[in-house]
Amino acid sequence: MPSETSKAVTIQILGKDYHVSCAPDEELDLRRAASELNGKMSEIKANGKTIGLERIAVMAALNISHELLQKDSELQTLKQDTQARLGQLTNSLDNALADNA
């Protein structure tokens, strides 16, 4: 049963309706996530090698998890590169200030 701070939302995945509760300000994100999931599952179903809704859902979840892990790894690398560059810039600034002192 939805609480007073949640909203009942109907999403459709592979032609089947699902009723989900979410905070009103999260509805757009929920719909976007459902659309992404529907797309992934539709691709797997169209491929024809995976049969059964449960197997299609598991394969979609694995694909999405793999993509998320790749993005997380890319983000960590970018964060490390940014921190290293900031360190270099800080050192350069410190040296320039010391030279002018």
Q: Could you state, in order of their start, the residue ranges of all structural domains in the chain?
A: 7-100
Predicted confidence at residue 63, as pLDDT, reads 95
Predicted confidence at residue 38, as pLDDT, reads 97
| Position 2 pLDDT exceeds 70 | no
pTM of the full predicted structure?
0.73
Predicted confidence at residue 99, as pLDDT, reads 87
**Nearby residues of 91 by Cβ (< 8 Å), 6 or more positions away:** none
Distance CA 11, CA 32 (A): 10
For residue 96, CA distances in Å to 4, 86, 87, 88 come to 59, 15, 14, 12
Adjacent-strand bridge partners of 10: 19
Please name the helix (run of DSSP H) or strand (run of DSSP E) that holds residue 76, with its range, or none.
Answer: helix 53-100
Adjacent-strand bridge partners of 13: 16
Please determine, looking at this structure, whether the domain spanning 7-100 carries the CATH number 3.40.630.30. no
Predicted confidence at residue 100, as pLDDT, reads 84
